[in-house]
A and B are shown apart, each in its own frame.
Chain A
Amino acid sequence: MSTEEITEAVNLLSAVESQTQDVTKLVDHLLKKATENEYNTSKGISFLELKYQLLLSYLMNLTYISLQKSQGSSIQDDPTIDRLIEIRTVLEKMRPIDKKLKYQVDKVVRTAASGGTDSSDPLRYRANPENLISKLDDESESESEGEEKKSKIYHPPKLTAMHYEGDETEMDKDQKVLERAKKRALSTSMLRELREEFSEGPTEIRETTSTQRSRAERKLRERTHYEEENFMRFSVSKKDKGKKGKKAKQIISKKFVYDYMKPIFVSNVAKSPD
């Protein structure tokens, strides 16, 4: 070892000695104060302060244990372990409370970071209890006083939501009727067949099982198919004539098909004073 290193070591050792003397003096001073009850602990310590003091002492005890283990000495029946367990359990018990306080703590931290709060900030600390009471409480109070004020108008019970039509002008209503008629006209059998003729997709044959008319429909379909295949017309007996009329009357209302087709060609409903 060189002389420089020796002198350096001696200086460092003397520095360590002086610092340890200072530390012992400080600790004695603190101990005296604590024993003389100079620190007011009647209110207890705050939750957050307790939390970080516990964490600190946990760390200290943990470093002591790891020191012992690295030196090779046994840690069995060491009071440090009991201390560690105690601190650990207290921290675990504190965790749910901490979770409940998390929102407040975050808010405070945020305000501290951003500086100042806006009075119209929706995330202000307190809920407004006036917004929670029902405004209908006023009615119940007034009803008990004046029973003679019951109105004679019948109000039907409100069971389901209904479409509100009060804001529609007459023009809107006419247009709506026209649109509906257009839609209906576009789906008549005539136009459906036209569409089928010119569409490039394959023809669809739909099986509908209407139990009432299935037999009659099947018969009618067979008949028309035969007629078209063989280029001839069947003679319709009186019974069949009656049946055909009756069924057809069920399908089509008294309107002519022309009335169905008309809306397609009417573009705009212009209200002219007649």
Chain B
Amino acid sequence: MSEGAATIRTRKFMTNRLLCRKQMIVDVLHPGKATIPKTEVREKLAKMYKTTPDVIFCFGFRTKFGGGKTSGFGLIYDSLDFAKKFEPKYRLQRHGLVEIKKTGRKQRKERKNRQKKVRGTKKAKVGAGKK
């Protein structure tokens, strides 16, 4: 846990009523330390905006050359239902709200190659069975 040396400032704050959220650019100042993990940033933002950290989604943190300053984006939803509705699946997966099943790259490529050999509606049948 930081000793309070990390400072968070928000820029370009906007309330997006269409998507039921508040969106902003987050600047983190952390001189002499590594980039702060997203979970800590979420907690600090929750304290700043007086919400629970589970409706806060932050992403896209890039550290400036030389260290000390990182900027990223932050979204604060009105409720978790709206968040589940509007957020892309990969970000929800980062919070553990959704499980994306991945079949594996090799499997997908092999399935594709098998489908190449067959024409028409039989392609769907081919995908199901694995030889």
Contacts and interface: CB of A to CB of B under 8 A. Distances in A.
A binds B: yes
B68 A228 contact: no
B31 A258 contact: yes
A248 interface: yes
Interface string B29-45: 10110000000000000
Contacts of A258: 31-32, 67-68
Contacts of A261: 31, 68
A61 to B, nearest CB: 97
A15 B54 CA distance: 134
Given A190-B29, A256-B32, A244 B65 contact: yes
Interface centre among B67, B68, B69, B73 (most CB of A within 10 A): B68
A244 B62 CA distance: 13
A197 B9 contact: yes
Contacts of B62: 233
A109 interface: no
A233 B25 CA distance: 12
Interface residues of A, number: 19
B86 to A, nearest CB: 13
Interface string B43-78: 000000000000000001010011111000101000
Contacts of B66: 248, 252, 256-257
Contact of B60 (A193, A194, A233, A245): A233
Interface in A232-261: 232-233, 244-245, 248-249, 251-252, 256-258, 261
A125 interface: no
Contacts of A252: 65-66
Contacts of B29: 190
A232 B60 contact: yes
Contacts of B65: 244-245, 248-249, 251-252
B11 A190 contact: no
Given A231-B75, A261-B31, A261-B68, 4 more contacts: A231-B73, A233-B60, A257-B31, A258-B32
B12 interface: yes
Contacts of B67: 256-258
5 contacts: A227-B60, A231-B60, A256-B31, A256-B68, A257-B31
Nearest to A194: B9
B32 A197 contact: no
Interface string B87-131: 000000000000000000000000000000000000000000000
> Lowest 9 A-B CB distances belong to which pairs?
A248-B65, A257-B68, A258-B32, A258-B31, A252-B66, A233-B60, A261-B31, A231-B73, A257-B66
Contacts of B11: 197
A17 to B, nearest CB: 117
A231 B76 CA distance: 13
Contact of A190 (B12, B25, B68, B73): B68
Contacts of B23: 231
A224 B28 CA distance: 17
Contacts of B69: 190, 257
Interface string A206-233: 0000000000000000000001100111
Contacts of A257: 31, 66-69
A59 to B, nearest CB: 93
Given A233-B62, A256-B66, A257-B66, A228 B31 contact: no
A227 B72 CA distance: 10
Nearest to A253: B66
A249 B62 CA distance: 17
